[in-house]
Amino acid sequence: MLENFVSPYDAHVVERLAGAGMVTLGKLNMDEFAMGSSNETSYFGPVKNPWDTARVPGGSSGGSAAAVAARLTPAATGTDTGGSIRQPAALCGLTGLKPTYGAVSRYGMIAFASSLDQAGPMAKSAEDCALLLNAMAGFDARDSTSLERPAEDYTRDLEQPLAGLRIGMPREFFGDGMDADVRAAVEAALAEYRKLGATTVEVSLPNSGLSVPAYYVIAPAEASSNLSRFDGVRYGYRAPEYTDLNDMYSKSRAQGFGAEVKRRILIGTYVLSHGYYDAYYLKAQKIRRLIAADFVEAFKQCDVIMGPTSPSVAFAFGAKSADPVQMYLSDIYTISTNLAGLPGMSLPCGFGQGGMPVGLQIIGSWFGEAKMLQAAHQYQKAADWHTRMPENLK
């Protein structure tokens, strides 16, 4: 749809990073319109995981993750609507952070689901992510959902010790859905945290099981509307032949969008339709509020929440692409933070089956990025998983 489209303006995050002296090397591959968890929906063909080129790098920011993992660039940006920074970071052995909703301006990001989208950094370490976030975050009057708050130094607490840190372990994140290798690595990481002076406490997010279904109502609903502008009229793909206006719309969109994008537009159109709106969209919004309320309760008992980023390590190409629901479930642990607007990050915490990296997810309270980064950095001072790189690159 946008193969030859060159934006005549820069996104806020691009302006900010350029202003901080960063050099943009180029654009990276991703799932089409950020809709995918494996990079297999990319119009340009899938990105391969540098740890094992038979496996997916995760998605949707799979190109960003693979480029950093392959040491082609020290850092990359990604966008995260349901896990699109954290899941590929986990699958590629990186540190990636999705900020609190409203911390980073969405101006210039192609919207997937406006109420969930956030841009964030992907790099080797928490310290790099903190430095990148210092440049990327901040109020932007061009995004009405950007929050006007004083500028923060996200590196300020990095060197603070973790003694007294209360880590919440959601019962629902440590159930049956997680593979054994992922569980082993995550539990080892939590043991390491206890050694560093943190305490762990079991918390509950009782509605988290509803996060995937609620997300797959809200995100497609917003996407179906956000993607309406790609109509072949002003820019982007237009079908070469058509009979009239409606035919031009139908053919341009049928030919210009991939299957996953069309699936989500159809779902979104359906849930917003007359007669279905209350049953789907409104109900999903109610669930969203319940999910946020669960986190409010949980954060009464802890400072950060930890658990797996993804239920499995990177899977083989084709393993889930035939079953969209299986694919959607790979974001089961990341989606609830987007629905609640919370910050979340993933950092490497070991290796699992096939020598593939495992990601530990840290979820902070609203605007708790500095606390999250502190926890990640202190762990990375004690463990060196984040410094490992694929054998074939050495």
Partner 1 sequence: MSQWEVVIGLETHAQLRTKSKIFSGSSTAFGADPNVQANAVDIALPGVLPVLNREAVVCAIKFGLAVGATIAPRSVFARKNYFYPDLPKGYQISQFEVPVVQGGGLAIKVGAANDPNATAIDKQVRLTRAHLEEDAGKSLHEDFHGRSGIDLNRAGTPLLEIVTEPDMRSSAEAVAYARALHALVQWIGICDGNMQEGSFRCDANVSVRRPGGPLGTRREIKNLNSFRFMQQAIDFEVQWQINEITEGRAIQQATVLFDPDTGTTRAMRSKEDAHDYRYFPDPDLLPLEIGPDWIAEVKSGMPELPQAMQARFHAEYGLSAYDATIVTASFSMADYFVTAVASAGAANAKTIANWIMGELAARLNKSDMPIEASPIAAAQLAGLIQRIADNTISNNIAKKVFEALWNGEGSSADEIIDKQGLKQITDSGAIEKIIDEVLATNQKSVEEFRSGKEKAFNALVGQAMKATRGKANPQQVTDLLKKKLGA
Chain residues in the site for partner 1 (CB under 8 A): 2, 5, 7-9, 11, 106-111, 113-115, 141-145, 221-222, 224-225, 227-231, 233-235, 245, 249, 269, 272-274, 277, 281
**Residue whose structure tokens are 């708050």:** 149
Q: Which is nearer to partner 1, 134 or 146 (CB)?
A: 146
List b or e across 209-227, with b for residues whose CB sees 16 or more CB atoms inside 10 angstroms. ebbbebbbbbbbbbbbbbb
373 and 130 Cβ atoms separated by less than 8 Å: yes
DSSP string, 344-377: EEEEEEEE-GGG-EEEEEEEESTT-HHHHHHHHH
CB of 225 to partner 1, least distance (A): 5
Q: Which is nearer to partner 1, 224 or 334 (CB)?
A: 224
The pair of structure tokens assigned to 108 is: 């210039």
Distance CA 196, CA 2 (A): 48
Q: Which is nearer to partner 1, 102 or 168 (CB)?
A: 102
Q: Which is nearer to partner 1, 5 or 44 (CB)?
A: 5
CB of 145 to partner 1, least distance (A): 7
With a CB cutoff of 8 Å and minimum separation 6, the contacts of 26 are none
Q: Which is nearer to partner 1, 227 or 362 (CB)?
A: 227
CB of 28 to partner 1, least distance (A): 16
CB of 229 to partner 1, least distance (A): 4
Distance CA 113, CA 269 (A): 13
349 and 66 Cβ atoms separated by less than 8 Å: no
Q: Is residue 60 reached through a cis peptide bond, with omega within 30 degrees of 0 on the bond before it?
A: yes
* E strand or H helix that includes residue 96: strand 95-98
Q: Which is nearer to partner 1, 11 or 383 (CB)?
A: 11
CB of 290 to partner 1, least distance (A): 18
Q: Which is nearer to partner 1, 235 or 317 (CB)?
A: 235
CB of 141 to partner 1, least distance (A): 7
Distance CA 356, CA 354 (A): 5
CB of 336 to partner 1, least distance (A): 18
